[in-house]
Amino acid sequence: MTATTDGSTGAPTLRAAAAKDSTTVTPPLEHGGPAAAPTAAERATARAVDHLLSRQDAEGWWKGDLQTNVTMDAEDLLLRQFLGIQDERTTRAAALFIRSEQRPDGTWATFLGGPPELSATIEAYVALRLAGDAPDAPHMATASAWIRAHGGIAAARVFTRIWLALFGWWKWDDLPELPPEIMYVPKWIPLNIYDFGCWARQTIVPLTVVSAKRPVRPAPFALDELHTDPRRPNPPRPLAPAASWDGVFQRLDKALHRYRRFPVRPLRRAALNAAARWIIERQENDGCWGGIQPPAVYSVIALHLLGYDLDHPVLRAGLASLDRFAIWREDGSRMIEACQSPVWDTCLAAIALADAGVAADHPALVKAADWMLDEQILRPGDWTVRRPELPPGGWAFEFHNDNYPDIDDTAEVVLALKRVAHPDPARLDAAVERAVRWNLGMQSRNGAWGAFDADNTSPFPNRLPFCDFGEVIDPPSADVTAHVVEMLAVLGRQHDPRTRRGIEWLLAEQEENGGWFGRWGVNYVYGTGSVVPALVTAGLPASHPAIRRAVRWLESVQNDDGGWGEDLRSYRDPEWIGRGASTPSQTAWALMALLAAGERDGKAVERGVARLVETQEEDGSWDEPHFTGTGFPWDFSINYHLYRQVFPLTALGRYVHGEPFAADRQEA
């Protein structure tokens, strides 16, 4: 995969360069119509439209880079070392990128400006040693000194220590046990694999194989410099009180370690075979697993340990899919995406263009709609475990992920499709009907929606000693629920009892400060920017107390420069809620909420719009180095490179042209 100078990806031969004179933008609703001189906001909107159109792929989709942190790159090199498939060019390029992300104190963080992160620093250090960097080189010595000062390898998370155990740098006995027999835990018993969120489930199943096999490929060097005391690398950890949940699960882990020494061998063999079948059945047509990198990495390792050689079609396809997560940069470095977001990026881009006044029958929007329609998933996936009678009809986030469509993408795709005048309206309407039926069927018992599953709320998976990194369950969230409510309201279902239950849940979830928590975007600015437009679209008046509290909170956290920003530390430290450097995407989210709340002529909106206009680049784009997306709040942060384009355009478009579906709201 190649990278263009604007950060977009895709083969250059497929890049669509839409001519500026092909853009059809409807006249503004105010400022005297087309006869009046365009305002700064109108000019910025037009430039942003041209820029976004120029980034559409010839097939109809958009995709920006999905930037995370160097553990993706480090683990890619570790995988290649483990399988014996490393090559000099890839190693050199990955090391170049990893070095470029190191900070002056020798550490690596997981987001721009974030604190040093021990596990990320260990993995980056080990990857650079594999690439040939000497341990006494200044940048390496500084890193290892910091690692030792912060507890060494023994203080790293479980997943980091698993990678080190693969090479004998850590003892398997000193890791939590994860037996493959978990495959046979019935679905009605806690801790069955479907109690885990889909991303965790896809990772845990192959790791049961790795845990059972305990492979060790001898390392080319020792890592004594990363232990606080190399003679005693793993000091014993204190047991939690037996009466506590942590104590219960620690003692369960000790029992599983004893079982491992004397397993029921026929059961163990059958469980390993069941895990292999489960993994292979969920491989996508392009070779990946779930459209995300971590499950693909562990699935390749697991199947290889079970006897699948690297030339087996399953592993050949899996390894080829991992190569597609790589972005080669102009400086010769290579960055690994944890995931790719074409469906999400495309529906958001289509909404932004429509909000900016691009005609509903514009070829770019029609082409985008055609591509999205082709991506609808019409076969069952893991979600049928809890909804066995529900017909399919959702969309996934990625190019290929038919097993795990998600509720959020499905809602936003429908909102995008409703903005397009498609030449085959019957085809579009049928797709929307399937999508709405599926989303309604995925509503959880409390009236809200999670991302991938219904009622994925068990409290037990997060307590396993194995699960010390990120969310492993998928409970309902305000942002996803808001997008579904908005979709239902746009379709005229605002009075449907299921919609009303979603609205009631959202109102109950409002924080005392007036904002809403953001699960999939940072953080309260994202949650509030999602919920307020949804509630207003569903018929709540701008005068509603919940809307007024949200407006007051957004006004109170606006930065002096007119923008909005929120640091990822807000997930852990309430002092950071609503605080951070202004970013284009977060400024746009705040504006989208304020505009929906009827604040178009307010001072806060005026200053926010001015901020977007002032920070726009000459080519119509915006720059945004900060991370404003999440995979797991705090633990895994994302910089979606297209967010900086689509959300500012959406906000400016709504400022210039008015709120979408305003007439429908008035009729409701």
pLDDT of residue 661: 66
Distance separating alpha carbons of residues 386 and 194, to the nearest angstrom: 9
Q: Quick one: tokens of 407? A: 């509720």
Q: Quick one: tokens of 33? A: 């119509």
- Strand ranges (E), 596-635: 629-632
Residue type at 340 in one-letter notation: Q
Give the lowest-confidence range in 13-22, 251-260, 611-620, 622-631. 13-22
For residue 173, the number of C-alpha atoms closer than 13 Å in the C-beta half-sphere is 6
DSSP 79: H
Give me the helices (H) in 463-583, please: 478-490, 497-509, 524-537, 545-556
Q: Could you tell me which of 486, 497, 483 has the C-alpha nearest to residue 451?
A: 483
Are 375 and 343 in contact by the 8 Å Cβ rule? The answer is yes
Length of the chain: 668
Catalytic sites, residue numbers: 408
pLDDT at 469 over 90: no
Reported as type and span, the H/E element at residue 389 is none
Q: How many CB atoms sit inside 10 A of residue 423's CB?
A: 11
Distance separating alpha carbons of residues 635 and 633, to the nearest angstrom: 6
Distance separating alpha carbons of residues 302 and 212, to the nearest angstrom: 10
> Residues 151-175: what's their mean pLDDT?
96
Domains of the chain as residue ranges with CATH:
12-66+339-442+477-667 (1.50.10.20), 69-228+253-336 (1.50.10.20)
pLDDT at 455 over 90: yes
Longest CA pairwise span in the chain (Å): 84
Are 380 and 424 in contact by the 8 Å Cβ rule? The answer is no
**Judging by DSSP bridges, how do beta strands 636-640 and 66-67 pair with one another?**
antiparallel
The DSSP line for 251-265 is HHHHHHHHHHHS--H
pLDDT at 512 over 50: yes
Distance separating alpha carbons of residues 618 and 44, to the nearest angstrom: 9
Reported as type and span, the H/E element at residue 638 is strand 636-640
For residue 319, the number of C-alpha atoms closer than 13 Å in the C-beta half-sphere is 20
Are 195 and 453 in contact by the 8 Å Cβ rule? The answer is no
3-state secondary structure of 67: strand
pLDDT of residue 467: 79
pLDDT of residue 160: 97
Burial class (CB in 10 A: 0-12, 13-18, 19+), 32: exposed
Q: Quick one: tokens of 356? A: 């900016």
pLDDT of residue 124: 98
Residue type at 453 in one-letter notation: D
> Residues 420-432: what's their mean pLDDT?
98
Burial class (CB in 10 A: 0-12, 13-18, 19+), 440: middle
> Residues 466-470: what's their mean pLDDT?
78
Residue 10 pLDDT level (bands cut at 50, 70, 90): very low
> Residues 17-44: what's their mean pLDDT?
57
The string of pLDDT tens digits covering residues 347-367 is 999 999 999 999 999 999 999
Are 126 and 74 in contact by the 8 Å Cβ rule? The answer is yes
The DSSP line for 310-332 is TTSHHHHHHHHHHHTTEEE-TTS
Q: How many CB atoms sit inside 10 A of residue 20's CB?
A: 11
Tokens 């553990």 -> residue: 71
Reported as type and span, the H/E element at residue 60 is none
> Residues 208-226: what's their mean pLDDT?
95
Question: Rounded mean pLDDT of the chain?
Answer: 92
Dihedral angle of Cα 289, 290, 291, 293, to the nearest 10 degrees = -60
Q: Could you tell me which residue, 464 or 552, shows the higher pLDDT?
A: 552
What's the pTM?
A: 0.92
Query: Residue 395 forms beta bridges with which residues?
Result: 406
Residue 25 pLDDT level (bands cut at 50, 70, 90): low
3-state secondary structure of 629: strand
Residue 668 pLDDT level (bands cut at 50, 70, 90): very low
